[in-house]
């Protein structure tokens, strides 16, 4: 492809960027404990590695309003540590530079947006498993992130909740998957 009003070096530089990632910024992957998380981490690692960026693996623990925000939630913290350890192992296997973080917050949406802003992320990746009972229910987190994110947002949907951990391309190539981008 040739663009008449661009220099060749600029065109070549643009082709080396990962899809969906701007010229600067890392990728934030929200790890929630779904089967789809494995595919999200692998996809993010492929893109980050190509763009020479870092992947931020984030798990949000929503603290009930009846407890102090800094309350020690041992069970949830242990589960989050396990999830993030598995995600880090996937990133290391892919040869990707990744950082894991557990965030305690009242609501996940504002915490995700703040993390993306704090780390200068160019992309936030969220997984959505469609429930058979609620076809159009995105919850409150995804709409909040889509409206307030300082960067692009990809919502990748697993239509039937049975994403196999061994097929990383499913999230990116299935016809029924949803990618929502906010530029």
Confidence of residue 131 (pLDDT cuts 50, 70, 90): low
The CA-to-CA distance between both ends of the chain, in Å, stands at 23
| The pairing of beta strand 152-158 with beta strand 55-62 | unpaired
The SS3 of residue 167 is: coil
CB atoms within 10 A of CB 78: 10
Q: Are 110 and 140 in contact (CB under 8 A)?
A: no
- Between CA 94 and CA 44, with CA 110 as vertex, the angle to 5 degrees is 15
- Judge whether residue 14 has pLDDT over 60: no
> How large is the C-alpha radius of gyration of the chain?
17
**Is the sign of the CA dihedral 132, 139, 153, 112 positive or negative?**
negative
Where on the phi/psi map is residue 60: left (φ > 0), alpha (ψ -120 to 50), or beta? beta
Looking at the DSSP assignment, which residues form a beta bridge with residue 104? Answer: 61
Q: Which of 32, 38, 34, 43 is nearest to 165 (CA)?
A: 38
Mean per-residue pLDDT, 35-39: 90
Instruction: Provide the pLDDT confidence category of residue 35 given band limits of 50, 70 and 90.
Output: confident
pLDDT tens by residue, 150-178: 999 999 988 765 544 433 333 333 333 33
Q: What is the pLDDT of residue 158?
A: 80
Which domains does the chain carry?
27-158 (3.40.50.620)
Query: Are β-strands 55-62 and 26-30 bridged in parallel, bridged antiparallel, or unpaired?
Result: parallel
> Distance between alpha carbon 136 and the CA centroid of its chain, in Å?
21
For the stretch 71-103, pLDDT in tens is 999 999 999 999 999 999 999 999 999 999 999
* Strand ranges inside the chain, DSSP E: 26-30, 55-62, 98-105, 121-129, 152-158
Assign 91 to helix, strand or coil: helix
More confident residue, 38 or 173: 38
- Per-residue pLDDT at 132: 64
Is the pLDDT at 8 greater than 70? The verdict is no
Judged against a pLDDT cut of 90, whether residue 42 lies above it is answered with yes
CA distance 128 to 167: 17
């Amino acid at each position: 492809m040739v663009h008449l009003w661009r220099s060749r070096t600029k065109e070549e530089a643009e082709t080396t960027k990962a899809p969906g990632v701007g010229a600067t910024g890392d990728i934030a992957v929200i790890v929630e404990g779904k089967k789809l998380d494995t595919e999200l981490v692998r996809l993010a690692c492929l893109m980050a590695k190509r763009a020479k960026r870092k992947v931020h693996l984030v798990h949000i623990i929503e603290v009930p309003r009846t407890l102090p925000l800094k309350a020690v939630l041992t069970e949830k913290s242990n589960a989050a540590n396990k999830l993030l350890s598995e995600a880090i192992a996937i990133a290391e296997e892919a040869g990707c530079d990744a950082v894991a973080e557990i965030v305690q917050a009242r609501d996940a949406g504002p915490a995700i947006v703040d993390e993306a802003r704090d780390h200068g992320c160019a992309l936030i990746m969220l997984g959505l498993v469609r429930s058979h009972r609620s076809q159009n229910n995105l919850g409150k987190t995804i709409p909040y992130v889509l409206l307030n994110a300082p960067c692009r947002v990809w919502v990748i949907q697993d239509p039937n909740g049975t994403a196999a951990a061994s097929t990383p391309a499913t999230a990116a190539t299935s016809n029924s998957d949803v990618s929502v981008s906010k530029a």
